[in-house]
């Protein structure tokens, strides 16, 4: 009887041993298979999501979209307001007059507000005849505004417009129109800096005080004469904005000589890209001529004939804001920002 009990005990031990999980002979740990209703859990390292069922990111993991700024656009309204301010409120701005310096202060303040580094250079002018009005000798000024970081001995471009008028003209078209476009381009460049640095210049004493080249373009002639050889070589192109507001079907794009041919072609191509009609021409009667004579590629936008030229009738109503916008868009496209 005792032997039978021992035998039964041995059988029970074998059965219990067979029902207890032991190490797999292959040495691997069996992996449970999840059911269709199971979902992966970060605390279960053995459950890796399959590529066809990626986990959804939590709201905190979603990327935050970056806000995009609308491209800077030319504002005809702003430019027309500047024409009104210069020609309507200030009026005639003979190069050595109190009114000229009032305009110079306004322009320099605007450049500074837009983030440009500014300076002035004095321009000595002789006595003479301002389109029929005797004028005394005196001092005018160039207002210069440089893009932040501009090195005048390294590649850059110059965009200019003359600030003065003949003695008897309010100068809406000649040349508040050019200054208005100059300030608008500076505003755009402050918002979207072009790849090439820009020097903006409001020239003093562009208007003649007698016949001949020596009695014309005093501000630009002096500014160019003061440039070093390295600074002259660094100017990739100079564009003068002079009488750019008279309504017309086309915008004149003028060169002063062969050296300006490539720049003229660039401006004409920029106009085509902006879908603006132009007219190629040759002209030396603006500040681009001072740069051209020094061997610097230069061109002029503007020069449409109008009845009020150099007269008291050159008032803001002469100027067309759509034509202002066309001139600005051509230069903006030339700067590569259209």
User: Residue 82: helix, strand or coil by DSSP?
Assistant: helix
Contact between 132 and 207 (Cβ < 8 Å) = no
What is the C-alpha separation between 167 and 94, in angstroms, rounded? 5
Count of Cβ atoms closer than 10 Å to residue 13 Cβ: 9
- DSSP element (H, E) containing 63: none
The interaxial angle of helices 321-334 and 261-273, nearest 10 deg, is 110
* Global pTM value: 0.80
Q: What is the pLDDT of residue 66?
A: 54
The DSSP secondary structure of 102-162, one letter per residue, reads HHHHHHHHHHHHTT-EEEEEEEEE--EEETTEEE--EEEEEEEEE-TT--TTSSEEEEEEE
Domain-wise residue ranges, the chain = 76-334
The interaxial angle of helices 98-113 and 177-191, nearest 10 deg, is 20
Antiparallel, parallel or unpaired: β 138-146 and 198-203: antiparallel
Handedness of CA 65, 66, 67, 69 (dihedral sign): negative
Count of Cβ atoms closer than 10 Å to residue 266 Cβ: 18
At the top level of CATH, which class does the domain 76-334 belong to?
alpha beta
Q: What does each of the 338 residues of the chain score in pLDDT, given as a tens digit?
A: 434 333 333 333 333 334 344 434 333 444 444 433 333 333 333 333 334 444 444 444 545 555 555 778 999 999 999 999 999 999 999 999 999 999 999 999 999 999 999 999 999 999 999 999 999 999 999 999 999 999 999 999 999 999 999 999 999 999 999 999 999 999 999 999 999 999 999 999 999 999 999 999 999 999 999 999 999 999 999 999 999 999 999 999 999 988 899 999 999 999 999 999 999 999 999 999 999 999 999 999 999 999 999 999 999 999 999 999 999 999 999 999 65
DSSP 3-state helix, strand, coil percentages of the chain (rounded to 5)?
40, 15, 45
């Amino acid at each position: 009887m005792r032997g039978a009990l021992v035998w039964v005990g041995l059988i029970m031990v074998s059965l219990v041993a067979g029902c207890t999980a032991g190490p797999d002979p292959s040495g691997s740990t069996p992996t449970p298979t999840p059911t269709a209703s199971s979902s992966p859990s970060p605390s279960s390292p053995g459950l890796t999501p399959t590529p066809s069922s990626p986990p959804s990111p939590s709201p905190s993991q979603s990327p935050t979209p970056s806000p995009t700024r609308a491209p800077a656009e030319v504002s005809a309204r702003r430019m027309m307001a500047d024409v009104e301010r210069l020609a309507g409120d200030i009026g005639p701005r003979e190069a050595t007059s109190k009114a000229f310096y009032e305009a110079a202060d306004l322009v320099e303040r605007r450049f500074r507000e837009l983030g440009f580094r500014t300076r002035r250079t004095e321009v000595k002018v002789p006595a003479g005849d301002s389109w029929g009005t005797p004028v005394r000798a005196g001092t005018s000024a160039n207002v210069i505004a440089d893009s932040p970081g501009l090195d005048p001995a390294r590649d850059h471009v110059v965009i200019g417009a003359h600030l003065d008028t003949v003695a008897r003209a309010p100068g809406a078209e000649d040349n508040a129109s050019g200054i208005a476009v100059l300030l608008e381009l500076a505003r755009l460049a402050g918002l979207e800096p072009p790849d090439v640095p820009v020097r903006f210049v409001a020239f003093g004493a562009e208007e003649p005080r007698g016949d001949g080249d020596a009695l014309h373009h005093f501000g630009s002639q002096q500014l160019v004469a003061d440039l070093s050889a390295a600074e002259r070589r660094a100017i990739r192109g100079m564009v003068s904005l002079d009488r750019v507001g008279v309504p017309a079907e086309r915008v004149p794009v003028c060169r002063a000589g062969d050296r300006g041919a490539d720049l003229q072609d660039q401006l004409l191509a920029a106009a085509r890209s902006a879908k603006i009609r132009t007219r190629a021409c040759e002209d030396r009667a603006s500040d681009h001529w001072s740069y051209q004579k020094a061997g610097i590629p230069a061109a002029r936008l503007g020069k449409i004939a109008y009845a009020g030229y150099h007269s008291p009738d050159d008032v803001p109503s002469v100027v067309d804001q759509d034509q202002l916008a066309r001139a600005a868009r051509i230069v903006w496209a030339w700067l590569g920002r259209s």
